[in-house]
A and B are shown apart, each in its own frame.
Chain A
Amino acid sequence: MDAISASRGLLRMLTCGSVDDGKSTLIGRLLYDAQLIAEDTLAAITRDSRKHGTVGEEVDLALLVDGLEAERQQGITIDVAYRFFTTGSRSFIVADCPGHEQYTRNMATGASNSELAIILVDARKGLLTQTRRHSFICSLLGIRHVVLAVNKIDLVEFDQAVFDRIVAEYHGFAAAFGFRTLAAIPLSGRFGDNVTQRSPRTPWYQGPTLIEHLDSVEVDEDAEALPFRFPVQWVNRPNLDFRGYAGTVASGRIALGEPVVVAASGVTSEITRILGPAGEQQSAAAGEAVTLCLAQEIDIARGDMLAPPAQRPAVADQLAAHILWMDEEKLLPGRQYLLRMGHAWTTASITAIKHRIDVTTLGQLPATSLALNEIAVCNLSTAQKLAFDPYGENRLTGAFILVDRTSNRTVGCGMVQFPLRRATNIHQEAYLVDKGARAAAKGQRPMVLWFTGLSGSGKSTVAKLVEEALHGAGRHTYSLDGDNLRHGLNRDLGFTPQDRVENIRRVGEVAKLMVDAGLIVLASFISPYRAERQMVRDLLAPGEFVEVFVDTTLEVCAARDVKGLYAKAMRGELANFTGVSSPYEAPEAAELVLDGGATSPEALARQVLDLVERFQAG
């Protein structure tokens, strides 16, 4: 075994800079100089250089790393690529992050997994808006070590004045970012100056080469010095005699006999065994993947966090966080997203966007929604209590991702600022007269008939017929629709996507109270988004929410045009009109689909009544 190899461990870093600043070339140069480029690979890129290269007859080192066909054809980098090299004393993983304006998302991804950032600047262009943007994102994501690589120094005749000016300017604005080390190096990725070889063409530069610096920079964040945190990943229960909690120590260290507490439940125990990759251990430290056994059999599941009783994490279901939005579809306050923190998954919604951050000026802007690559400080509310630390104190226990509930796309990421306390004296009262009692008094099973469909599809017409029939049969009912809510409770809401979400959230809460009161609720709302209909469904007990999709085509609705709205929308006089200038997401698994084009309203009502009768009987 080669003992000296990588004895200083692994350094993870990312490169950032604008398009064409030379990121790919620099990484290609590092690989090339580290002699990691095999002869056959070099032969292949020499051939490719003629086809795709940007440097004439020379070998284009960027082609060593620009992989996907699409990006080679366009000569750009699209996605984060990971590269590996070793210097003999340290191993490196480099995330090559594209520099396009719209790829903040990729940079954040690279930065989240890195300890150090190389920020490239084209010596000819100096600092750009992007440089500031990238530095801010690195800082926000917790990068504490930065190399300012003043690249293409060959193109400014190795001029010290140019270098000094750029460095001075950078020091000016980087002060706010809290970087612990900042090394500025004049270099040429293309020709190799000051990359691994000290350049004779910059005699005025006394500092280390890029590689010398990377090899020696101390990035040990001392995760071991932080309080012990152990997010439980998997409960290992192979037989009745063994019960262990598997996971990776996020921070701190733990030893046999030491006490731990399950953060959310407050139950304590102590460590009796520690199983590591090579067998039994006396202790375990940050970064180690182990299995812990405890003295008592207590209730612990994946998603729980173990911590020292004297140094507990925050436990809360309300928190303030920086959110970076990564999806084409906007973040909407009030909408439910899935949230993953540690190994816990729960649902969450943004209760308030406190302000958006202009990543160029770092100024605060008001915002009602967040678009792709935007960053904001938000308040969140989660369905379950979570255990966490502020991101500034602990990167691994203070981070989370947000996932779209329908598409499962990762739509955002977040960094916790602090927990928020809920008013502690509003207890949920347990009443003797409960939902069951109220429903029994009415002799019915409460439920929500949720009619969704385009404007003019026939929702209200059918709902009205259904309600009349139910009322005639002695049922207790209530109808909710735009007419009786938008004039009162929801008077303050318009038709923007975020207002639509809030509209449905309130309708859902009202419907829930009415179900609690024992009523059969008929709700007729266009409710164009699947996610909001799902949100209402989740508010109610299983089975209580019955989705009725009034499936009438846009053509039929527009031809009917009872309120003359389609004509207006098509003339462009009505913004955000569903079906015309705003999307409608048809249900995928509605309990009932009504063919609203062909069948008479009476026949459609009959179908709904049959379903209600079955529900009441069963």
Chain B
Amino acid sequence: MPSLPPHLKRLEAEAIGILRETAASFRNPVLLYSIGKDSSVVLHLAQKAFAPGKLPFPLLHIATGWDFRAMLEFRDRRAAEIGARLIVHTNPDGVAQGIGPLSHGSQVHMNVMGTEALKQALNQHGFDAALGGARRDEEKSRAKERVFSHRAPGHVWEPRGQRPELWGLYNTRIGPGETMRVFPLSNWTEFDVWDYIAAEDIPVVPLYFAALRPTLRRSGAMIMRDDERMPLEPGEEIEMKWVRFRTMGDWPLTGAHESRAETMDQVLEELRASRVSERHGRLIDNDQEASMERKKREGYF
């Protein structure tokens, strides 16, 4: 295998160190596996960090009921290949109330089926540290996020309660009821993630690559209709188009873009030429100014 460029080697070593630190410092850690490219990289790094042993923690997927089917298939296959313990949690209260993005809007849906569901799962299993694939370059309010991000009881993120992080000497201590979110990819950019996926040949969901897919246009976004739950509005029609996705999420809330990038090299090339941001395809973030920061305070990952 050709060796990694020096900056990716450094990022890789840093992330492995953070993963080991989490395993060594917490009683009951978990890896939040969202099935996207970032958590695929974290999973790959975790395998390296603990080799020749197995992962010392389970994977947790918060299923909202609106995940792309291709994501769920990929998830089950990967977990089986790796021999990892996979926990899937869906908010039963949300299911009982029939919460969904089409009936309740993206905000309510993400809050109940995403944020609340995550808190439920963390509480139920008593996880004291949750590893995630978030990166600082994703969004402005993330730029100040710590690698070890402290959460007060109730999973509350307090901007002023965050600890300074010097020299990678992380303060991993928590009190009763407190938890930690841990982000091994904090210092990676979207390019780094793709370059690494390409260099290491990491499996990712096929939705990242262009294919002919059934799409429809709604409020300016191109949606791939993954099942029959989305009724067509007057004037809307399904068209087969060559599209791919830049981020993963719930299918009614994730915009596709037209693309013929079918291979890794083509994806990298397209990305370098792109002039729109990664989050552009996420229909939930444009809701309101500084929306991410508010969501984070409420406990969103």
B51 CB, nearest partner CB in chain A, Å: 6
B1-54 CB contacts (< 8 Å) to partner A: 1-3, 5-14, 16-17, 20-21, 23-24, 48-54
Question: When the two chains form the complex, which single residue of A72, A246, A287, A413 contacts B20, counting CB atoms closer than 8 Å?
Answer: A246
Interface size, chain B (Cβ < 8 Å):
66
- Is the beta-carbon distance between B24 and A65 smaller than 8 angstroms? no
Interface size, chain A (Cβ < 8 Å):
75
- Is the beta-carbon distance between A82 and B186 smaller than 8 angstroms? yes
- Is the beta-carbon distance between B277 and A400 smaller than 8 angstroms? no
Q: How far is the CA of A524 from the CA of B13 in the complex (A)?
A: 53
Stretch in B59-67, B83-91, B119-127, B162-170 touching the partner: B162-170
Question: When the two chains form the complex, which single residue of A40, A291, A395, A403 contacts B173, counting CB atoms closer than 8 Å?
Answer: A403
Measured between beta carbons, the chain A residues less than 8 angstroms from B198 are 1
Measured between beta carbons, the chain B residues less than 8 angstroms from A69 are 141, 289-290, 293-294
Measured between beta carbons, the chain A residues less than 8 angstroms from B20 are 233-234, 246-247, 289
A36-87 CB contacts (< 8 Å) to partner B: 38-41, 48, 64-70, 72, 78-84, 86
- A67 in contact with B140 given A40-B276, A105-B164 (CB within 8 Å): yes
Q: Tell whether B211 is near chain A: CB-to-CB under 8 Å.
A: no
- Is the beta-carbon distance between B268 and A38 smaller than 8 angstroms? no
- Is the beta-carbon distance between B276 and A38 smaller than 8 angstroms? yes
Q: Quick one: CB contact mask for B106-147 with A, threshold 8 Å, 1 for yes?
A: 000000000000000000000000000000110111111000
- A275 in contact with B52 given A83-B143, A113-B167 (CB within 8 Å): yes
Q: Tell whether A288 is near chain B: CB-to-CB under 8 Å.
A: yes
Q: How far is the CA of A10 from the CA of B4 in the complex (A)?
A: 13
- A2 in contact with B293 given A39-B275, A112-B167, A403-B171 (CB within 8 Å): no
Question: When the two chains form the complex, which single residue of A8, A72, A84, A403 contacts B187, counting CB atoms closer than 8 Å?
Answer: A84
A347 CB, nearest partner CB in chain B, Å: 12
Q: CB-nearest residue of chain B relative to A108? A: B166
Measured between beta carbons, the chain B residues less than 8 angstroms from A302 are 24
* Residue in B3, B10, B195 whose Cβ sees the most chain A Cβ within 10 Å: B10
B256 CB, nearest partner CB in chain A, Å: 16
B219 CB, nearest partner CB in chain A, Å: 15
Q: Tell whether A5 is near chain B: CB-to-CB under 8 Å.
A: yes
Q: Tell whether B159 is near chain A: CB-to-CB under 8 Å.
A: yes
Question: When the two chains form the complex, which single residue of B17, B53, B167, B294 contacts A238, counting CB atoms closer than 8 Å?
Answer: B53
- Is the beta-carbon distance between A38 and B166 smaller than 8 angstroms? no
- A68 in contact with B159 given A10-B10, A84-B136, A289-B13 (CB within 8 Å): yes
Measured between beta carbons, the chain A residues less than 8 angstroms from B235 are none
A255-309 CB contacts (< 8 Å) to partner B: 275, 277-278, 287-289, 291, 302
Measured between beta carbons, the chain A residues less than 8 angstroms from B5 are 1, 3, 5-7, 9
Measured between beta carbons, the chain A residues less than 8 angstroms from B7 are 6, 9-10, 90-91
Q: Tell whether B241 is near chain A: CB-to-CB under 8 Å.
A: no
B109 CB, nearest partner CB in chain A, Å: 23
Measured between beta carbons, the chain A residues less than 8 angstroms from B140 are 64-67, 81
- Is the beta-carbon distance between B167 and A395 smaller than 8 angstroms? yes
Q: Tell whether A204 is near chain B: CB-to-CB under 8 Å.
A: no
Measured between beta carbons, the chain B residues less than 8 angstroms from A234 are 20-21, 23-24
Q: How far is the CA of A23 from the CA of B12 in the complex (A)?
A: 29
Q: Tell whether B175 is near chain A: CB-to-CB under 8 Å.
A: yes
- Is the beta-carbon distance between B276 and A82 smaller than 8 angstroms? no
Q: Tell whether B280 is near chain A: CB-to-CB under 8 Å.
A: yes
- Is the beta-carbon distance between A408 and B174 smaller than 8 angstroms? yes
A15 CB, nearest partner CB in chain B, Å: 13
Q: Tell whether B263 is near chain A: CB-to-CB under 8 Å.
A: no
- Is the beta-carbon distance between A68 and B1 smaller than 8 angstroms? no
Q: CB-nearest residue of chain B relative to A51? A: B289
Q: How far is the CA of A242 from the CA of B51 in the complex (A)?
A: 10
Residues of B within 8 A of A (CB): 1-3, 5-14, 16-17, 20-21, 23-24, 48-54, 136-137, 139-144, 159, 162-169, 171, 173-175, 178, 186-187, 189, 191-192, 195, 198-199, 268, 274-277, 280, 289-290, 293-294
